[in-house]
Amino acid sequence: MSRIESPARPTSRRASSHKAPRRRKAAPRRRVWRIIGLILLVLVGTSVVAGAVVLHKLDAGIHTFNQAGLAGHRPPPTVAGQNILLIGSDTRSGADAKLGGKGEAVGRSDTTVLVHVYEGGTRAVGVSIPRDALVDVPTCLLPDGKWSQPQQSVMFNSAYQTGQSPEGNPACTVRTVEQLTGLRVDHTVIADFSGFAKMTEIVGGVQVCLPQPLYEGDLDPNRPDRGKEIFRAGKQNVAGAKALAYVRVRHGIGDGSDIGRMKRQQAFLSEVIAKVRAQGLTPTKILPLAEAATKNFTVDPSLDSAGKLASFVVSMRNMSPDHIRFLTAPWKYDGPRVALVHPDVDQLWAALRADQPLDGAGEPKTKKSSKLTVAQALAKVRSSDITVLNGTSVPGLASSTGAVLTKAGLTVAGVGNTASRDATAVAYGPGREAAAKLLASAFPGATVEPSDQAGLQLLIGTQHTMRAASATAVPPKMALPSSLTKDSRTASQDACSGVSYG
């Protein structure tokens, strides 16, 4: 008997076809998610009084999307921290057509970032999900009130296009992300071209960096000639339409992929955050920034009032650029598309569900939970079937450990052997993460990791020991592969580092 790891299996979630009354119709949205980080950090860096003035202004112009599409089964409410989904719609209708150029007036999401703000509001991680990543899209509510059929192995950005409306389908993207990650999306924000350009002008531009000069032809690959130079090599300050051109450019740098563009977008947002924090913007600067946001953002109904926004913003007032990290979900090329790498991406989602920092340094400030003894922790696992597998050369270790667990009142479904390993771990099947953490808390240094097998598997390593029944149960950490952090960046990192791929 051996442990098998595989990606979590998404399931289609069909909900009632009842169509709720639509909220105020949103303007077409754009992928420039960096703005959201900007406005939040601006508000965070000011006094509560100034924030209240801005939020009062926001209350009059907030756009929300129809939440009826979120009906049905969803992941359980977030226990620690909160999850914010930042979406951008690549449409060319209305004012966005002047900045975005030619294209369909259909809402499309070219950039999507899932931000996990850790409990205590002292740090956050933003995970870019490649638009070409192949995922399963669940059933989604269409503009005519009917529900779509689920789709398997389609591009991630197709979720936002479901229904082919200019406003896009943010609820479908939320459902897709929740099915993919097992994380409850607490808030959703969508931004567009116009707001991005305006807000970069308000802050006085943002410093960016390019490894070589870029030309008009790099923005428009169909252009017959190279055209004029639009960016010189090295660091430079950009704002308005030029800032928009920087975050949109894909060709002419690295391998010309969307992966490289996401890295530059992450670098851009890092610079925005650092600049806003350094400026300490005054209320007179915050007001026009907030007004631009309300004209060009759409949010979920949970953020539809000044009071709710105030609570959301104030919760992050102590966050610094050093503790804001950006990364791309583990991926690999799959022909012309992108495949998410398993089990790495599953371990990423599991770590965020557990509110675990990915860099292992500077644990966030969290509310202290009541301490349990090992006996109390194991008592909470008694309804779980446990398989004990020996990953050491010590004969009979699985049987003797299983006997101890049985004596503690647990159900040991079987014992056996597994591949050699150093550290003890608990592998858990769907819906058994909480029980796995309780079981692992009885073993010093144990970690937890997702598995496709039902129940729990205790994988005994050579460093295996077990705490006494009266000892304090210590919560485990997730075992995280290096792929989750090797290409990540913090908001305090230099603008010229990691801005291309290939």
Count CA within 13 A, CB hemisphere, residue 123. 20
Dihedral sign computed on CA atoms, order 354, 355, 358, 362: negative
Q: From its phi and psi, is residue 117 left (phi > 0), alpha (psi between -120 and 50) or beta?
A: beta
Strands in 50-120 per DSSP E: 63-64, 82-89, 109-117
Cis peptide before 7 (omega within 30 of 0): no
As a whole-number percent, the residues of the chain with pLDDT over 70 amount to 75
pLDDT of residue 461: 94
Domain boundaries, the chain: 34-330+486-490, 374-480
Asked whether residue 426 carries a pLDDT value surpassing 90, the answer given is yes
Identify residue 443 by its one-letter amino acid code: F
pLDDT of residue 429: 84
Find the mean pLDDT for residues 9-38: 42
pLDDT of residue 383: 80
pLDDT of residue 330: 92
Find the mean pLDDT for residues 457-478: 90
Dihedral sign computed on CA atoms, order 346, 347, 350, 355: negative
The neighbour count for residue 340, using CB atoms within 10 Å, is 21
Q: How confident is the model at residue 289 (pLDDT cuts 50, 70, 90)?
A: low
DSSP 77: P
Nearest to 304 by CA among 29, 64, 37: 64
pLDDT of residue 442: 94
Tokens representing residue 423 in the block: 């550290």
Find the mean pLDDT for residues 129-150: 94
pLDDT in tens, 266-276: 888 888 877 77
Asked whether residue 280 carries a pLDDT value surpassing 70, the answer given is no
Look at 208 and 61; give whichever has higher pLDDT. Answer: 208
Look at 113 and 320; give whichever has higher pLDDT. Answer: 113
pLDDT of residue 265: 85
Same fold? 34-330+486-490, 374-480: no
pTM of the prediction? Answer: 0.72
Within 8 A by CB and 6+ apart from 502, the residues are 254, 255, 256, 257, 259, 260
Asked whether residue 340 carries a pLDDT value surpassing 60, the answer given is yes
pLDDT of residue 364: 39
Rounded to whole angstroms, the Cα distance separating 124 from 91 reads 29
Look at 33 and 203; give whichever has higher pLDDT. Answer: 203
Within 8 A by CB and 6+ apart from 335, the residues are none
The answer to whether the beta carbons of residues 13 and 147 sit under 8 Å apart is no
Look at 405 and 11; give whichever has higher pLDDT. Answer: 405
pLDDT in tens, 306-317: 556 555 655 666
Find the mean pLDDT for residues 319-348: 89
Tokens representing residue 250 in the block: 């894909």
Look at 190 and 141; give whichever has higher pLDDT. Answer: 141
pLDDT of residue 43: 42
pLDDT of residue 58: 61
Provide the b/e sequence for 458-495 (b: ≥16 CB within 10 Å): bbbbeebebbebeeebbebbbebeebbbebbbbbebeb
Look at 35 and 307; give whichever has higher pLDDT. Answer: 307
**Position of tokens 């860096």?**
45
The answer to whether the beta carbons of residues 330 and 484 sit under 8 Å apart is yes
Strands in 378-421 per DSSP E: 385-390, 411-417
The answer to whether the beta carbons of residues 364 and 119 sit under 8 Å apart is yes
pLDDT of residue 92: 47
Looking at CATH, the fold of the domain delimited by 374-480 is given as Alpha-Beta Plaits (3.30.70)
pLDDT of residue 296: 73
Q: How confident is the model at residue 211 (pLDDT cuts 50, 70, 90)?
A: confident
Dihedral sign computed on CA atoms, order 259, 263, 264, 269: positive
Three-class SS of residue 109? strand
CA distance to 8, 159, 170, 294, per residue, from 135 (Å): 12, 10, 16, 32
Identify residue 382 by its one-letter amino acid code: R
Find the mean pLDDT for residues 181-188: 93
Distance of CA 207 to the CA centre of its chain: 25
Asked whether residue 381 carries a pLDDT value surpassing 80, the answer given is yes
Tokens representing residue 78 in the block: 């977030």
Computed over every residue of the chain, the mean pLDDT equals: 79
CATH 3.40.630.190 fits 34-330+486-490, yes or no: yes
Find the mean pLDDT for residues 394-402: 95
pLDDT in tens, 37-92: 444 444 444 434 445 555 565 666 677 888 899 988 899 888 788 999 988 776 54
Tokens representing residue 293 in the block: 């946001």
Rounded to whole angstroms, the Cα distance separating 76 from 82 reads 12
Q: How confident is the model at residue 191 (pLDDT cuts 50, 70, 90)?
A: confident
